[in-house]
């Protein structure tokens, strides 16, 4: 009899989407994620962080089931974005990240954002964090242009030869 009572009490919680459960402590991240294309396609926090039941039931002392390390991000995103994953793995950034190099390099979340998508301007700002001092021979681009005006998006190979 107790089992049925517990199950009936738990049903409203089970019916909630993961993001609703996470919002109590992570309101900013959930609000940002609700603007993301992935959220619109039905993904929730558990797609990247797992069910994280122990985390939700703790007072913050237990980490979520999964927080992807930089070298794990391409595989996580590549589960759905296989072509981009292949292109990225061949790039200089991908080679550094996947080799767990001490030299930090961009992964999917660095450019695209994690909980919400970055705009082209925000992506350029991310690039400039590491590439602010480009060689003098590097062509200067107009303010509205992005790195991707000349460089392929996931390989960063120069489009101009």
pLDDT (average), residues 109-118: 89
CA pair distance 84, 72, nearest whole angstrom: 15
Answer for the pair 123, 109: CB distance below 8 angstroms, yes or no. Answer: no
Percent of the chain topping pLDDT 70: 74
CA 83 to chain centre: 17
Q: Decide if pLDDT at 21 tops 90.
A: no
Residue with tokens 């101009």: 160
Specify which residues 151 forms β-bridges with.
158
Answer for the pair 38, 115: CB distance below 8 angstroms, yes or no. Answer: no
- pLDDT tens sequence across 127-146: 888 877 765 556 665 544 56
pLDDT (average), residues 31-36: 90
Answer for the pair 77, 97: CB distance below 8 angstroms, yes or no. Answer: no
Domain assignments of the chain as residue spans, ordered by start: 16-66, 70-149
SS3 151: strand
SS3 17: coil
Residues in the chain, overall count: 161
- pLDDT tens sequence across 39-80: 888 888 888 888 888 998 887 788 888 888 899 999 999 999
Confidence at residue 158, expressed as pLDDT on a 0 to 100 scale: 57
How confident is residue 154, by pLDDT bands cut at 50, 70 and 90? confident
């Amino acid at each position: 009899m107790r089992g049925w009572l517990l199950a009936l009490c738990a049903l409203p919680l089970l019916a909630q989407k993961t993001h609703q459960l996470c919002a109590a402590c992570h309101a900013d991240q959930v609000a940002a994620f609700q603007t993301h294309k992935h959220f619109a396609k039905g993904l929730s926090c558990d797609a990247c962080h797992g069910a994280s039941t122990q985390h939700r039931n703790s007072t913050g002392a237990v980490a979520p089931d999964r927080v992807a390390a930089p070298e794990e991000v391409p595989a996580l995103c590549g589960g759905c974005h296989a072509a981009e994953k292949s292109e990225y793995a061949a790039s200089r950034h991908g080679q550094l990240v996947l080799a767990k190099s001490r030299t930090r390099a961009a992964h999917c979340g660095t450019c695209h954002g994690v909980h919400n998508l970055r705009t082209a301007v925000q992506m350029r700002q991310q690039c400039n964090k590491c590439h602010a001092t480009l060689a003098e021979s590097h062509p200067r681009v107009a303010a509205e242009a992005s790195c991707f005006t000349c460089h392929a998006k996931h390989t960063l190979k120069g489009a101009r030869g």
